Structure 1
Amino acid sequence: MEYTSKMYYFQQAGNLWSVNCDDNLMLDFLHNVSFNPIEPVFFHHLNVSCPIGCHCCFNRSTDHFMIDCRHSNNQIYPDLPYSIPYNAILQLDGNEITSIKDSLGHASLRELYLSDNKIKDLPFHLIPKNITHLDLRKNMLEALDDQVVDLLRDREVQLSGNPWTCDCRAKNFLSFLKQREPLEYTAALDRCNIFSAGRCPEACICCLDNSTLPSLIIDCRSKGLTEISPLPTPISGQSTLHFEGNYLEALHSSSLRGYANVGHLYLANNRLTAIDQLPENITTLDIRNNSISVLNRQLRDFIDKRIAASTQLKLLLSGNRWTCTCEHKDFLHFVKSRSRNIENVLDLYCDGGTATLLIEMEESDLCPSGTVYFVTLTISFMLIILTINIMIHFKQPLLIWLYEHNVCMSIAARRECEKQKKFDAFLSFTHKDEELLEEFVERLESGSNKFRLCFYLRDWLVGESIPECISQSVKDSKRIIILMTNNFLKSTWGRLEFRLALHATSQDRCKRLIVVLYPEVENFDDLDSELRTYMVMNTYLKRDDPNFWNKLIYSMPHVNVRPQPDPEAIELSALGNRNA
């Protein structure tokens, strides 16, 4: 027989056939030709025989070998030759096949179409491991095992039209079914008729647990959720809510739909800090590994009532930061009295991480006696008084050290109340003590602070009145340093300078007077009553003090404190700007 487009070779039996899937004319012919069932068509160039009752062709453009056994009333999965091409497609839609079987060429299949059959089981070991497309529509499958689900997660699969179960033993498959074909998952739940109201939360998987009594399982584990959504209400019995591994911070669910029907509540590994209300018929509460510090009185009373009504109540509380204080001693009593209902009670620790077991604590550990409190309070008070005294006693040395090292100047440095003056200090002494002058000039004027001193040998004009010079020197100086020796006490001019300095200090209320007392002075009998009273009532610097120079420098004007501007300088500056 000859065709215009291509040449084929045909004999009734035992000869070779070469059929291209693109040639529709030849395919139609083969569909209508009666072959000897013992002698299937043989594809010589592929060294493959077509299964009995099927039609085969080879698509050269896609390199796929098609085995078409659709609607052939087959009840048995066909035998496939071992030499079937690697890219093979088997079409078995619309037959009576109840199960698939392994054969020599079965593992070579890339696509397998089994829709509209009677398959009840799909074992993992019988699925071609290189399958890319699997059509299981309209069969009698109730579930796929976990291995099959894992294999098909990244493959193209069609699942609709099967009587899928809602049994929790197939929960992994139900999750897969909800992801791939949500309508089929919803149909499975409706077929089980396990809800009397509500729907399964969008992020969760709902299933029926028949291991003991029929129980609705709502699995929302590790979904990144921050709150519990409205829950479905089971037709009978209680529901179990798995909410572990989420970000729940508080449980305020008194009015949440379906919450009252929850019997087993698993909230481990969340961020809970408080629980206000539990389902009224709860029998299991798991709040492990949260941030709860105590169960409040209302919640403890509720649990006590539940335990009285049902001894089966189980609590899982470990991994929280339980507070162990006298204020929460009632919680300690609760743990001890309900230890038989608390699973792993030996894993409850005070404050979450210490080595103190909560069950081993006693009330005396949390609430010491009144004597202990009194002793503790007394010791604390004494420590406070001692600290204050130490601070008062060492205040000046501390401030001197801070000022000397330029540390915390806001604390150490004093604010100067004087306006800007010509001199930092007026040095008052008698002519008989001129040898004492050198060390003060060297230390104060040549030191790191560079103070400017005023003293009569250098700064008084010849011929001026001594009282006027003393008065002007006191007025122009921020400090008045009195070198009080026996010579000074006997000097009329010395006592005059002392008196003028004292009056100046009392008028401007600044601590300007610095008295340096030399060791030779034994008493102040040579002073008049006013000056003698001052020496008795006020402190002074002793020249033989080892820390004398540090104290003196600290008593001088604090150069690191920004001085107030001189009004006269400001006025002269403004005048100069106007003239310019």
Structure 2
Amino acid sequence: MSSWLVLPAFLLWGWAAGGVTLSLSCRRCEGGPGGYTCPNSESAEAFVLKTLPDQVLHVECRNNMGDFSLLKNCNFTSFRKFEFERCPLPGVAFGEVFRRIGVPSSDVKYLSFTAGSWNASSGLEEWHLDSLTNLQTLQLVDNNITSFPPALLTNTPKLEFFRFIGNRVGSLPHTMFASTPNLVMADLGNNELTSVPEDLFANLTKLLNYIERLQLPSPKTSLTYLNLGSNNISFSDTGAQFIPYDFPLSNQLELQHIFLDNNRINHIPTPLNNLFVDLKTVDLSGNLISYLEFLSIHFVSDGVKLNLKNNQIKAINLHMKEIPMPTKDMYQLKTNYSVTLNLMNNSLANFDGLDHPFYTRLANLTIPYNKISHINESDLPGNLKVLDVRGNNLTFLSDTTLDYLNVTDVVLSLGDNPWTCNCDMIDFFTFLQVPERKVLDSNNIKCASDGELLLSISEYTICPSFRNPMVIVTIVLITVFLLLFAVLGTMSFYKYKQGIKVWLFTHRMCLWAITEDELDADKKYDAFISYSHKDEEFVNTVLVPGLESGNPKYRICLHYRDWIPGEYIQNQILQSVEDSRRTIVVLSSNFIESVWGQLEFKAAHSQALQDRTNRIIVIVYGQVPPESELDEKLRLYISMKTYVKWGDAKFWEKLRYIMPHPQELIQKKQQKNRNADKLELVKSNSKSV
């Protein structure tokens, strides 16, 4: 027998006097006015009881799977409203449960039931609400119910408020509300509905939005508010059919607010555009819509708020096509309207199409978190009042766009864009400084380079030469002087280059002016190869033969054949780097773990800094290692992609291109230079004579 055959009692005669000791034939309850535990806190199976305002008794079940007959004589006659939480469905009708605890079933006006961890599943039966003839509010929330008994509400003719949410029903019986003519609110959200019966609301002449009923009580003739969000609803595409009478809600012509968010709808159903003449709100957010056209957002009612955020919209075609006109006995088509368009979290890249005359009444364009990279003022409707373009790809606003915004009173939201703070931003910076400007998120407009708040910096920081003639004149004079100095310096260098080079090299100054060939003329090796011993097969069988036997042939320095046994390794590393025109680093996961490899790289990097020439060649062997595992200096070579990768189609061509020229070519070049210098000296002496 279910534990619901008897409900635990907790409201006792002692409560009226403020006591907590219960003089009943059942066990004592523990606690106070804030809550009682019955029979006591040490019981493995117990009820937690709380009194709420307006004669509401809240009952929370704790492990109640046993026999509660010890509490069956308690009395609850002062309560008319009951909430059950984390309790299993009773094995008898709720009316029988109330009768056994002293409450006439006809007195119960409010019943809320949440199973919680007790999965009600398909356990709901038609007789569960028997004898609750005066019930006005019924809530069946988060019970995982998979089917709705067709006659469940037969014995609740006075029901006014019904919430059936957080369950798993896929369809509803069309007679579901046949016996509840007084229903004014029905909430069916967060189910798994795939369809809604066409005549589901046929007899509900009093059904209306609950909020409207509280504010403006009046007799309604049809449904005005419908929330079917968070289900599994989809619609077939009706194509060119103007008024598809097979639409499930085609008989509810006074609908004003329709919520179909978080379903599986891939297009805007045609009836929403041309059937409901009083429509005010359409929420289709969180669906699968990927394309919009003119007719899909054209409504016959004024001021429709259309919410399309969190869809998959990639394209909008707003070029107006021929609009099929309805017959006169249907309704008068309205053309003077304002539109609110919400396209948040889609993939739109521009405003193409909004310049059409149809959108002259577009008042609110909300299009944040898309992929818009520029705003063309010619695409914006003339009567636009609100423009929200947060979180797009905007880097600047053109002068023409700013001119347009300066003569309008559009309320703007521009934050979370990658703004480029340079001289092109001066006009935009000035635009934001106007106190009357209605930019709602000016404190979130930041420079993409450093995240600096744009309004917290000065125009001189954005553009140092901003409107400063003296700065411009100074820059011009310095530029002319530098050009003149460069020309004269170049002429002097070529005339006396040999002596200058010798003096610079002797004093280790301005080594950039000395060619690499001259610095490396006495180097013993063309390249020293730094690698992990775990990669020696690749080095010895592939890399070295390719360099030493190819064309041209290079002289390579290797650990095992060119180092002197017994010498300190650190000294040999420094000597090998100094004796080589290049240091080739075979970068692999093994190299990163090699202590000596790291030391060889640092030595080569130090030599390169000293000579002020690029002496390091990085060969990536295997996958490019993660930058987080690399030495800071080695990470720089990888981040700037100054490396060659083994396996590339032109690996050897790239490697030989960055290797030094063979010594023979250097000697020939040096001899040629010496001959040229001698010839120049002879010519100079001849002129002197």
Please give the TM-score of this superposition, normalised by the length of structure 2: 0.37
The answer to which structure has the higher helix fraction is 1
The structure with higher relative contact order (CA 8 Å, sep 6+) is 1
